Structure 1
Amino acid sequence: MAGTTPQKITTFLMFEGKAEEAMTFYLSLFDDAEVVDITRYGADGPGTEGTVQHATFSLAGQRYMCIDSALKHDFTFTPAMSLFVQCDDEAEIDRLYAALAEEGSELMPLGSYGFSARFGWVNDRFGVSWQLNLPA
């Protein structure tokens, strides 16, 4: 992104040992996706050696950050905060919904709810919430 203005606000995802697995999965879903930077915990910790101390990745031109927290927390992701994807066609929304729902949970099955051609809402296997929309 040399020569462009850096993204001012970035979605930050905190995992507990599954950051790289989640990031790799998300990268597999989008054509325009890449790991921008990744740093792993070393033998000195404080996190488990080899897990993600900090990573930045890009999906469809949007940057995200993720970490594996070295501490256990009493909270996790909530559907009150979700990633909203505008899909280009039926094939894309079907593919993304199937992949994200696998081992996850369906909040709203793919369907027509009156506000778009098709819509679906899922929590993926990592607990991250995704709204998938195919505009009318």
Structure 2
Amino acid sequence: MATAAPFLMFEGRAEEALTFYCKTIPGSRIVEVDRYGAGQPGPEGSIKLARAEIAGLEVLASDSYVKHAFTFTPSVSLFVTCTSEDEQSQIVEALGEGGGVLMPLDNYGFSRRFAWLNDRFGVSWQINLP
């Protein structure tokens, strides 16, 4: 049976990003990390492929050794449903530090508390409290 998971491609910051996400989002952990070794195409020690669980969602990530003319876009985002205002505020504050706010934390009618932001790595997050 086929499976699907979001795949985040970084240019040298995959480990930093995944570690930050797992520290910031409750119930998250890095599951597996495969690194480039000596003589392989990527810089030795960089992330060839990592698997993490972000609030129960499997997320894959790598460090691309090829420079691309594109990066992340808000048209694809990770959606996190929080269980309390405190949890949501902490997540929004941490993810927003060094990033950019697309929709500040507020009541937008479809949710009593919602925020949409890009983190310091360029990944887009929607943080909801239903």
- The two structures have a TM-score, normalised by structure 2, of 0.95
Using the TM superposition, give the Cα deviation of residue 106 of structure 1 relative to its aligned residue in structure 2, in angstroms.
0.6
Q: Which of 120, 123, 131 is matched with 2:126 structurally? A: 131
Show structure 2 runs of 5+ residues with no match.
Answer: none
Contact residue 39 and residue 54 of structure 1 kept, 8 A: yes
Q: Give the alignment of 1:62-81 within 5 angstroms.
A: 62-81=57-76
CA distance, structure 1, for counterparts of residue 101 and residue 2 of structure 2: 31
CA distance, structure 1, for counterparts of residue 104 and residue 83 of structure 2: 18
Counterpart position of 1:94: 89
Q: Which of 16, 23, 26 is matched with 1:28 structurally? A: 23
Contact residue 54 and residue 65 of structure 1 kept, 8 A: yes
Q: Summarize the Cα distance change of 1:7–1:124 in structure 2 as closer, same or farther, 3 Å threshold.
A: farther
CA distance, structure 2, for counterparts of residue 87 and residue 7 of structure 1: 29
What is the number of equivalent residue pairs in this alignment? 130
Counterpart position of 1:3: none
CA distance, structure 1, for counterparts of residue 54 and residue 114 of structure 2: 20
What do the CA deviations read for 1:42-88 (whole angstroms, capped 9, x no partner)? 12131111110111111222111000001000111000000011111
Using the TM superposition, give the Cα deviation of residue 7 of structure 1 relative to its aligned residue in structure 2, in angstroms.
8.1
Work out whether 1:110 is the aligned partner of 2:125: no
Using the TM superposition, give the Cα deviation of residue 109 of structure 1 relative to its aligned residue in structure 2, in angstroms.
0.7
Using the TM superposition, give the Cα deviation of residue 30 of structure 1 relative to its aligned residue in structure 2, in angstroms.
2.5
Q: Which runs of 4+ in 1 moved over 2 A?
A: none
Contact residue 7 and residue 63 of structure 1 kept, 8 A: no
What do the CA deviations read for 1:2-58 (whole angstroms, capped 9, x no partner)? xxxx88210100000000000000110133222211111112131111110111111
Counterpart position of 2:3: 8
- The two structures have a TM-score, normalised by structure 1, of 0.91
| Aligned-residue RMSD, C-alpha | 1.3
Show structure 1 runs of 5+ residues with no match.
Answer: 1-5
CA distance, structure 2, for counterparts of residue 107 and residue 35 of structure 1: 27
Q: Which amino acid aligns with 1:49?
A: E
